[in-house]
A and B are shown apart, each in its own frame.
Chain A
């Protein structure tokens, strides 16, 4: 298969997933498209260094995440609310959420979660990756990933619960 065709097929296969991941991280269509584009261009230049064809998807996600972190560093956007390290009280976590969630609301709430926690929880929800795979993509220990997902999820569900309550009260 020619390099051009291989590149096109790769784009077709993964651009949607990468864009969604980028959008969930940045909350911006333009930034997500830029990140997706940049990820594939990095692949075009460095992808041949990848030994295992099976790990292409993980490589692309890792690359997009690193590019996202670079962008964050450049923009110095570390104003997100941090998630405390203490053990969470699960009794306050809503057990359910609305049947349908507005994607804009969901992305807004995700954007309020610290970057370090946002990427694990987005991969947790969006991709069929095992925890080990999520840890590999983000370059973090397995325990750290699981702990961040758990805390970010609790944060997310609480915010969603509060939002649902506000919507119901408004009705």
Chain B
């Protein structure tokens, strides 16, 4: 290092602020061995202090902080993490709702009909038929008794489709169909289907 190099480095030296900065160490050591450089450095540092004091002596106008505080804009709260959480919650909620609706549709398909049809078949006591597969003339008396006692009645077509016979809201059909138990009849009525289970709301019974 020579005096010029040391000067070049020490031009930036500010005194105590830069004492811990390693870039000045070698140049400062060099300056200790060079009286002229040492004197130049002293003057430079003094000059730095003078300029610094002058700049730091600039006084802001009176009332500036109060004015800044008074005219402070009301910030729009944009908490992005909360907005993100909210968006995620909405997305999850929408997905769950969509899945639930789909699942519900799957489990409870809408009622098909009502549709007016004619069904020909054997009148059944559904309890014995479903539980024990009992039907036909051999089971006629039991079927009639069961239907009369209020157990559900049905009709089974020759192709094996079974309908629950009903009389419409608040009206039992059992008394009317009990006498046709195990007999083949044609029933005119309104068909409705839910969950694959068919119901026939009886309007007219014709014995074949």
Contacts and interface: CB of A to CB of B under 8 A. Distances in A.
A53 interface: no
A97 B48 CA distance: 9
A124 B57 CA distance: 15
A125 B68 contact: no
A96 B58 contact: no
Contacts of B14: 124
Contacts of B76: 45
Interface in B61-85: 61, 64-65, 67-69, 71-73, 75-76, 78-79
A100 B58 contact: no
B47 A157 contact: yes
B68 A122 contact: no
Interface stretch (B3-11, B115-123, B190-198): B3-11
Interface of B: 4, 7-8, 11-12, 14, 17, 21, 39-40, 43-44, 46-48, 50-52, 54-58, 60-61, 64-65, 67-69, 71-73, 75-76, 78-79
25 contacts: A11-B69, A15-B68, A24-B55, A33-B61, A36-B60, A41-B68, A41-B71, A41-B73, A44-B72, A90-B7, A95-B43, A95-B44, A96-B43, A97-B47, A97-B50, A99-B50, A102-B54, A106-B54, A122-B55, A125-B51, A125-B52, A130-B21, A150-B8, A156-B51, A157-B47
The 9 nearest A-B residue pairs measured at CB: A19-B60, A96-B43, A95-B43, A97-B47, A126-B55, A101-B54, A20-B58, A15-B65, A11-B65
